[in-house]
Structure 1
Amino acid sequence: MESFSPLVLSIAATSFVTFQCLFHFVSPWISAQFFPGYHRLSPRHTIEWNSRTVSTLHALIVGLFCLYILLHDDAVNEDPVWGDPSLVKINVAMTCGYLLSDMLLICYYWRAIGDKFFVIHHLAALYAYYYVLSIGMLPYFANFRLVAELSTPCVNQRWFFEVLGYPKRSLPNMVNGIAMTASFFLVRIAVMPLYYSRMYAVYGTEPFYRVTFGGRCAWMGPSFCLDIMNVMWMHKMARGCIGVLRSPGKVNVEKLQNGKVH
C-alpha cells in the first residue's frame, strides 16, 4: 500500500483544523456582525448557515486553484494520467481536510444537517482522492472534477436568501438564480466534452494500463454517475430559472432595503 507524504498529511490536517475553526468561531462572529437576520435564525438554521459559509469559502479557494492549475500546470496538462501531481496534491489535500471536517460536523449535528447522500458523496470522493494523494495517478482528471466547486457559492447563496426571507422574485434572488444556473452549466455541463475527450484520448494507452483497477473504478464509475445527475439537476435548474423569469409581478426590493427583511 502506498503511503502519503508528510506534506500531504500536514496540508490535510491543517485544512481540517482550519475549517473546524471557521465553522465554530469565524463564521458565527462575522455573520453576527454583518447580517442582522443571523440572530433570528433557529439553532438548526444557524448550524446550516455556518456549514454553508465554510462550504462557500472552500469552493472558492479550491475552485480558483483548479483553474490556475488547468491554465498553467503544463506537466499535468501534457500527461493527464501520470503528470507531476505536486500542485494537484496540495489542492486535493485541502479538499480532503474539508471533507473530513464536514463529515464530522454532519455526524455530530445529524439532526440539523444530517444527510446520507452527503456522507456517501464525501466517502466516494475520499476514496477517489486516495489514489491521487498516495500514488499520484490521474492528477488532471482529479483537478478537473474540482472545478465543479465553483458552482457551489451561488447554490449556497440561494439558501441564504431563502432562510433570510428574501422573496423568490426579489431582484437579488433572481440575479443569483441566473448566476447559479449559468455557473452550474459552465463548470459542470459545458466542460463535459473536454473531460471525456481527454479520457477517450488516454484510454487504451500504456499510461492508462498502468492505472490500477481500483483507480479506474474510482475514476470512471463516479464520473459517469455524477454527470448523469448533473444533467438531471441542470434540467430542473433551467426549468426553474425560466419559470421565474417568465412569471409576472416581480417583488419590489424596497422592503429589503428598508430593513423589513434581513
Structure 2
Amino acid sequence: MMLGLDIPDYYSSLSTQTRWLVSAFGGIIMCKLSYEFTGIVTPLMFKGFSKLNKEQKLEWKNRGFSTFHALYVAIASLYIFLISDLFDESINDELIVYRKSTLSETILGMSSGYFLSDMAMIIWTYPTLGGLEYVLHHGLSTFAIMQSILTGEAEYYVFMVLFTESTTPFVNLRWYLDVAGMKSSVFYVWNGIAMFLGWLVARIVLFGFFFYHMYYHIDQVRQLHMVTFYALHMIPPVLAIMNLLWFFKIAKGMVRTLTKKTHTS
C-alpha cells in the first residue's frame, strides 16, 4: 500500500519492462525540457551568460537538468522513505529486499532516463562535461537502477543511494558562482560549507548506514538473485570510495577558501 499518490490502472497493468521504457523515456524528456528551460531562463537572470564560451554554455545547461533531477529524486526518495509505507517493516512481513510498487518503479525508471541522458552527453562531448570517473559513476548507477527494476529486488538500497544526489545542487551552484565571477562572495563560502556538510551526511554517513542495514538484513540479501547479490556487494563500495575521494577534495577546497577569507578580512 502506498499513501498519497494514485497510479492509473491502465499504467499499473503494463508489464514491468514496458513501464520502465515509458518512465525512462519520460526521464529523458524531463532532461531535455529542463535543459532547454535553463538555456531560456538563465540569460534573463545572468546577463553574463551570453559572454560565456560554447563549452561553458553547454555545461551550464547540462547542470540545469542535473540539478532538476537531483531535486526530483531527493524529494521522491524522502516521500518513499518517510511518507509512504512501502518500506515500513511494521506494516507487513514481506521481505524488505523484495518490496516495490508501481510508483517506486516509475521514479527509478525516470531516474535511469536521466543517467542515460547525462552519460550520453558526457561521452558525446568528452571530456568537456567530465572524465572517466563520471562515466563510471553513471554507468554503475544506470546498471543498478535497471537491475532493480527488472528483477524487482533491492529497491530499498537503490533509493538510499539515489538520495545522495541531494548534494548535487550545491555542487552545481558552486560551479555557477565560480563561472559567474562570484568566487569571492559570501554566498560562495556558505554554499561551500553547505556542500561539505551535505556531502558528509548524504554520501558518507548514509553510506555507513547503508552497509550496516544490508549486513543486518544479510539473511534477506542472501535470497536475492545472484546478479543483484553481487551488484550490492560491488557497486556501493565503488561509489563509496569515489564519494570519499571527492569528499577529501571538497574538504580541502573549503579549508583553502576559509583560510583565504580569514587572511583577507
Given the two structures, how large is their TM-score scaled by the length of structure 2? 0.85
Secondary structure of the structure 1 residue equivalent to 2:181? coil
- Mapped pair 1:75 → 2:86: yes
Secondary structure of the structure 1 residue equivalent to 2:99? coil
- Mapped pair 1:173 → 2:184: no
Aligned to 2:64: 53
- Give deviations 1:108-147, integer Å, cap 9, x for gaps: 3335325322222222212111221111100110000001
Q: Report the Cα distance in structure 1 between the residues aligned to 2:243 and 2:138, rounded to whole angstroms.
A: 17
Contact 2:109 2:146 (C-alpha < 8 Å) held by counterparts: no
Shift of residue 239, structure 1, vs aligned partner: 3.1
Contact 1:170 1:250 (C-alpha < 8 Å) held by counterparts: no
Q: Report the Cα distance in structure 2 between the residues aligned to 1:227 and 1:186, rounded to whole angstroms.
A: 13
Q: What letter matches 1:29 in structure 2? A: I
Aligned to 1:7: 19
Identity of aligned residues (%): 28
Aligned to 2:169: 153
Q: What letter matches 1:44 in structure 2? A: E
Contact 1:151 1:180 (C-alpha < 8 Å) held by counterparts: yes
Secondary structure of the structure 2 residue equivalent to 1:113? coil
Inter-CA distance 116–93: structure 2 relative to 1 (3 Å threshold) = same
Pairs within 5 Å for 1:10-49: 10-23=22-35, 25-49=36-60
Given the two structures, how large is their TM-score scaled by the length of structure 1? 0.86
Q: Name which of 225, 242, 252 aligns with 2:238.
A: 225
Pairs within 5 Å for 1:85-124: 85-110=101-126, 112-113=128-129, 115-124=131-140
Q: What letter matches 1:176 in structure 2? A: N
Aligned to 1:254: none
Q: Report the Cα distance in structure 2 between the residues aligned to 1:80 and 1:195, rounded to whole angstroms.
A: 13
Q: What letter matches 2:187 in structure 1? A: P
Q: What letter matches 2:81 in structure 1? A: L
Contact 1:8 1:89 (C-alpha < 8 Å) held by counterparts: yes
Contact 1:66 1:144 (C-alpha < 8 Å) held by counterparts: yes
Secondary structure of the structure 2 residue equivalent to 1:110? coil
Ranges in structure 1 where 5+ consecutive residues have no aligned partner: 252-262
Shift of residue 61, structure 1, vs aligned partner: 0.6
Which deviates the most, 84-93 or 26-35? 84-93
Which one has more relative contact order, counting CA pairs under 8 Å at least 6 apart? Answer: 1
Aligned to 1:257: none
Q: Report the Cα distance in structure 2 between the residues aligned to 1:107 and 1:192, rounded to whole angstroms.
A: 28
Q: Report the Cα distance in structure 1 between the residues aligned to 2:211 and 2:255, rounded to whole angstroms.
A: 29
Aligned length: 245
Q: Report the Cα distance in structure 1 between the residues aligned to 2:130 and 2:252, rounded to whole angstroms.
A: 28
Inter-CA distance 113–233: structure 2 relative to 1 (3 Å threshold) = closer
- Mapped pair 1:182 → 2:185: no
Aligned to 1:244: 257
